[in-house]
Amino acid sequence: MRIQEIVIRTDRLDFPALTAGDGPVVVCWHGFPDHPMTFAPLARHLVTYGRRVVMPFLRGFHPATVDALHYSDSITLAADAAAVAQALGEPVDMIGHDIGAGMVGRVAAAWPDRLNRGVTLAVPPPAALAKVFEDPAQLQRLFHMFLFAVDGVAEAVLNTDRRLVDYLWATWSPRLVLDAEHKARIHAMYGDEKYLDNVLKIYRANFDPSRFDPALVDRGGRTEAVASKPLLVLGGGDDGCLDPRHFAGPHDGLAPGSEVEVLPRVGHFLHLEQPDTVAERVLDWLSR
């Protein structure tokens, strides 16, 4: 599979992206601490079945956009995904993982005309997550969110060394053996203090409304609501980030026709751990 880098020009920002294949577009959005190339094993299956896979870098996570994260809230990132879809010839299929999963869920809710079929990996859409913060054990799993919110402490932890990045990968996907090439890729990305600063901006926007784009605030009531389009929601039974119990009954926050499945013996990075299984579920969903 030949992967090349392109630039997707939108009315919001020019987004660097990796792409492979030809055919109907599937846009894949990554999360943290991650890189678009984590989608490569899944992309090989999609390309084989006649799809063009586009894997953009989140705003602020490529040298060309590292200084462009002026607003870092989740609605801003979702608006980016909607703009990329429009530029690629909306509606498009989308797959999102982690932060990217929230982006896809919010596009389905607030920009449904930009989305054809949507898949979220490892994180259900926003409207399905209401009870997560009522679970003390789950809050412990999300310690990084609260660590990142503490000014000065987070910078000290992340900028001193990058062992926290390795720890998150190891605890979120305990069965995964990360190959040396991809581990080096992750370390190269998060070894840059500018990218780490952008990580903190995104996490701090969860608790700091001053980081919201005022031009998009009116979208908030829609992005956090139940989407009008059904979604495929896939989780990992061994996910150390989000307890699989929170995937068991999220239908209250999903449109009719949505499907939820927790895959056994796989963690948070399920599309890297079991690309064959994830591809089978995704291709079936996208073909309907």
Q: Is the pLDDT of residue 285 over 60?
A: yes
CA geometry: angle 211, 90, 122, nearest 5 deg? 55
Residue 77 belongs to domain with CATH number: 3.40.50.1820
What pLDDT does 249 receive? 65
Q: Has this prediction a pTM greater than 0.95?
A: yes
| Distance, CA of 28 to CA of 98 (rounded, Å) | 11
What pLDDT does 250 receive? 57
pLDDT in tens, 145-176: 999 999 999 998 888 888 999 999 999 999 99
| Least trusted range by pLDDT, from 142-146, 205-209, 212-216, 219-223 | 219-223
Tell me the average pLDDT across 216-238.
92
Number of domains within the chain: 1
pLDDT in tens, 234-280: 999 999 999 998 886 656 789 999 999 999 999 999 999 999 999 99
What pLDDT does 203 receive? 97
What pLDDT does 199 receive? 96
pLDDT in tens, 61-73: 999 999 999 999 9
What pLDDT does 247 receive? 84
What pLDDT does 159 receive? 83
What pLDDT does 133 receive? 86
Domain interval for residue 269: 4-286
pLDDT in tens, 73-109: 999 999 999 999 999 998 999 999 999 999 999 999 9
Report the side by side order of strands in the sheet with 92-97.
Answer: 4-9, 14-20, 52-56, 25-29, 92-97, 115-121, 231-236, 259-263
| Distance, CA of 15 to CA of 86 (rounded, Å) | 13
